[in-house]
Amino acid sequence: MHEVEVRPVRTEDEFAACVDLQRDTWGWSFSDVVPVSMLQISVKMGGVCMGAFGPGGQMLGFVYGITGVRKGELAHWSHMLAVRPEVRDRGIGKRLKLAQGDALRALGVKNVYWTYDPLVARNAHFNLNLLGVTIDEYVPDMYGRSDSELHRLGTDRFIVRWCLEGEGGRAGPVAPRSAGAVVVAPEGVAAAPRPGGSADAPGSTGYMDAATVEVLIPGDIEAVEARSVDEALAWRGTTRRAFTRLLRAGASVAGFLPDREYGRYVLVRRPGS
């Protein structure tokens, strides 16, 4: 991976390669592809489009976003990050994000926002543990109906905030261990709680009184979906209810504990919430 060059996308051919990679990632039926013209215009207006290029110049990944105003301050919305499947889990995504962060610091941007699917464990680990983002909001069906093959479970998303000030954006927090946590999972999931913890009844809201809650997700939601769409939708329904209720009540996501079988979001309630 030391032979991979990460730098701004510059030429029309390179922008076209970003479009091709979008289609390779989200499917050729995906209608929300960002075209070459909009990629180029965004960059001219303070947006960022970074590419990861192999030794032969092939685009292995890219990150793209637009710069504007959010909550009264200059901010950046990182709209897309894609890495070719054959070179995933080799640090390319993190290098792209760090290069994006460096470019945005030079523009005076302090906060970067984007979304990810809470059910995808590798993205939860990447965002929370490697980049150190904070969860800003949970939005059910954020992108509405989608014709992408990747969106059969809907488009529920976490909006995350990545702080670029100081050492922000360079290291993630250590996920806390949570003795006494209540575990939330769909009916039929035999995931034992941690020592001192207890399992919440599926579909109930008993976890709303707990100081610490662990919301489980599959270690590989794609494998679950391939086995049974109904099972995957059960995960979506259970986690949607838990996240929306807990965050609305003032709880916050304190960390993510990855594991091959089940990942665990750790949510804590502030005193008095």
- Give residue-wise pLDDT tens across range 21-50: 999 998 888 888 999 999 999 999 999 999
Q: Which of 238, 167, 172, 164 is nearest to 199 (CA)?
A: 238
| CATH H superfamily, domain 5-163 | Gcn5-related N-acetyltransferase (GNAT) (3.40.630.30)
Give CA–CA dist 186/237, Å, rounded. 8
Distances (CA, A) of 131 to 87, 94, 102, 148, 216: 19, 8, 13, 27, 21
The per-residue pLDDT for range 120-176, each reduced to its tens digit, is: 999 999 999 999 999 999 999 988 765 555 556 789 999 999 999 865 444 444 455
Q: Reduced to 3 states, what is the DSSP secondary structure of residue 124?
A: helix
Dist CA 216 CA 109 (whole Å):
34
pTM: 0.86
- C-alpha span between 20 and 35 (Å, rounded): 10
The C-alpha torsion from 83 through 86 and 89 to 93, rounded to 10°, is -20
**pLDDT of 14 above 90:** yes
Q: How far apart are CA 50 and CA 136, in angstroms?
A: 25
Is residue 112 scored above 80 in pLDDT?
A: yes
Which residues neighbour 167 within 8 Å (Cβ) at sequence distance 6 or greater? none
**pLDDT (mean) for 190-206:** 52
- Parse the chain into domains and list their residue ranges: 5-163, 182-269
pLDDT at 196: 41
* Average pLDDT for 102-119: 96
> CA angle, 186 as apex, 181 and 190 as ends, to 5°?
70
User: Does residue 194 surpass a pLDDT of 50?
Assistant: no
CA-to-CA distance for 151 and 144, rounded, in angstroms? 10
User: Which 3 state secondary structure label does DSSP give 270?
Assistant: coil
Angstrom distance (rounded) from CA 272 to CA 88 = 43
Residue 202 DSSP one-character state: T
Q: Mean pLDDT, the chain, as a whole number?
A: 87
Whether 197 shows a pLDDT value over 70: the answer reads no
